[in-house]
Amino acid sequence: MTKYDSPPWLARFPKSRVPAYPPHRGSMRVDAVIVGGGLTGCATAYALAAAGMNAVLLESERMGRGATGSSSGWVAEDPGISFVDLERAIGLRHARHAWQSWRRAALDFSALLRRLDIKCYLEPRESLTAAMTPEQVARLRKDQKARVAAGLEAPFINARAVASETGLSAGGAIRGRDGATLDPYRACIGLAAAAAARRARLFERSPVRRITFTRRDAEVHTAGGAIRTRRVVIATGFPTALFKSLRRHFWFRTRYAVLTDAVPAKVRQALGTRTTVVRDIRNIPNIPANAPVSDAFNKAEPPHVVRWVDDNQMLVTGADAPTPPPGQREKVVVQRTGQLMYELSTLYPDVSGIQPAHGWATDYALTAEGLPYIGPHRNFPHQVFAFGDSSQGVTGAYLASRILLRHCSGEMDPADEAFGFHR
């Protein structure tokens, strides 16, 4: 029977081993306060603590059980948008920096998890961004040429090689070599434990009620007390009620995901090596050349990401749409689960009839250019943000932690400008 609104990473984790951290109580002074206990917040807490900063992390519920626990667990090496569109939106220099930063973050994130020996089923995985129709092949070829011209690696793979490797009937694909897959919940709680081992203080069930500031510092208020700090890191993924004025920068959307029942061995043999993450590209309607990248996200057919879990189950994400009202969410998850299973069968006809084991959803915020905003905003002194990662992977969380560390330590990288609110 399908488990709806139940990501497998959370359902499979033993309840007796779920870590628990106390609520915040009392007053204190620290170097930095991180708000949000997902993958971005926990990676940032570790980064700040490892750099010698006195850091506190505040999570309103439980660590890793929000968007992180609902993610696909793909460490992608690119932000999941067209390079041509991004170059048009923010310029060649910023687009190149964004692509290079994303790839470097994918490699460094995997290296960090190995170095810390975090048990999260981390596996290196190549990827293929596949074009299914002649129009899509032409668009993908154009994007590949733009990447190569910008000095980025983007090998094009022909249809026969794609079919042999993935069992997919495609016209061609761009290969990515530096990605990985993992269990995002285990990665998150592993980073939280590593941060605590570095003397970061972590608090759960501690929602922030308000943030006040003076010219010199800020004060973060919870139900249990107040924390005075030089820097507040907001790692909640999108603006909460405390930052309503920033909501105008985003569109709020929901992505859906399905994990199938076990695929029979005979069917698996016809589906390639099962070691490659597959992403198709979206069908885009006629959109003016000067339109923001977000128009393609909002009006186009959503892409899918397909990867294997435990070598016998298929995980597919997609069917993105505007976030439904809370009262309709359960009904929409059931409907989108059926839709994704049908769409998976159009990509892989051999899986028709296999049932979904889990169907769930994750909310995200989308920016006009398709890249997250990571950094300060002029209206919020002493605060830095990580909002708007609409990619289909988890790499953006680690990338944000490095950029946020540089903002907190005052050692900025020029490439970080591509992710600023001012772009």
Mean pLDDT, the chain, rounded, equals 95
Residue 297 near residue 341, CB atoms below 8 Å = no
Per-residue model confidence as pLDDT tens digits over 128-180: 999 999 999 999 999 999 999 999 999 999 999 999 999 999 999 999 999 99
Question: Average pLDDT in the 22-28 region?
Answer: 98
Per-residue model confidence as pLDDT tens digits over 173-213: 999 999 999 999 999 999 999 999 999 999 999 999 999 99
| Residue among 205, 166, 156, 159 nearest 57 (CA) | 205
Distance of CA 41 to the CA centre of its chain: 13
Question: Average pLDDT in the 7-28 region?
Answer: 97
Q: 26 is written with which tokens?
A: 């009392």
Residue found under tokens 């209206």: 379
Per-residue model confidence as pLDDT tens digits over 221-268: 999 999 999 999 999 999 999 999 999 999 999 999 999 999 999 999
* 423 Cβ contact list (under 8 Å, min separation 6): 90, 94, 369, 371, 417
Q: What is the DSSP letter of 182?
A: -
Q: In whole angstroms, give the CA distance from residue 212 to residue 235.
A: 17
Q: In whole angstroms, give the CA distance from residue 65 to residue 37.
A: 9
Give the amino acid at 125: R
pLDDT at residue 242, rounded to an integer: 96
pLDDT at residue 302, rounded to an integer: 83
* Run of H or E including 93: helix 92-115
Per-residue model confidence as pLDDT tens digits over 84-118: 999 999 999 999 999 999 999 999 999 999 999 99
What is the helix, strand, coil percentage profile of the chain, to 5? 35, 25, 35
Rounded to 10 degrees, what is the CA torsion of 8, 239, 418, 286?
80
Question: 398: left (phi > 0), else alpha (psi -120 to 50), else beta?
Answer: alpha
> What is the per-residue burial (b if ≥16 Cβ within 10 Å, else e) of 258-285?
bbbeebeeebbeebbebebbbbbbbebe
pLDDT at residue 94, rounded to an integer: 97
For residue 30, list its beta bridge partners.
229
pLDDT at residue 290, rounded to an integer: 65
pLDDT at residue 423, rounded to an integer: 87
Q: In whole angstroms, give the CA distance from residue 419 to residue 258.
A: 31
For residue 142, list its beta bridge partners.
none
pLDDT at residue 93, rounded to an integer: 97
Per-residue model confidence as pLDDT tens digits over 271-321: 999 999 999 997 665 556 666 666 665 655 789 999 999 999 999 999 999
Residue 168 near residue 348, CB atoms below 8 Å = yes
Residue 304 near residue 348, CB atoms below 8 Å = no
Q: In whole angstroms, give the CA distance from residue 257 to residue 354.
A: 15
| Lowest-confidence region among 21-25, 32-36, 159-163, 290-294 | 290-294
Whole-model pTM?
A: 0.95
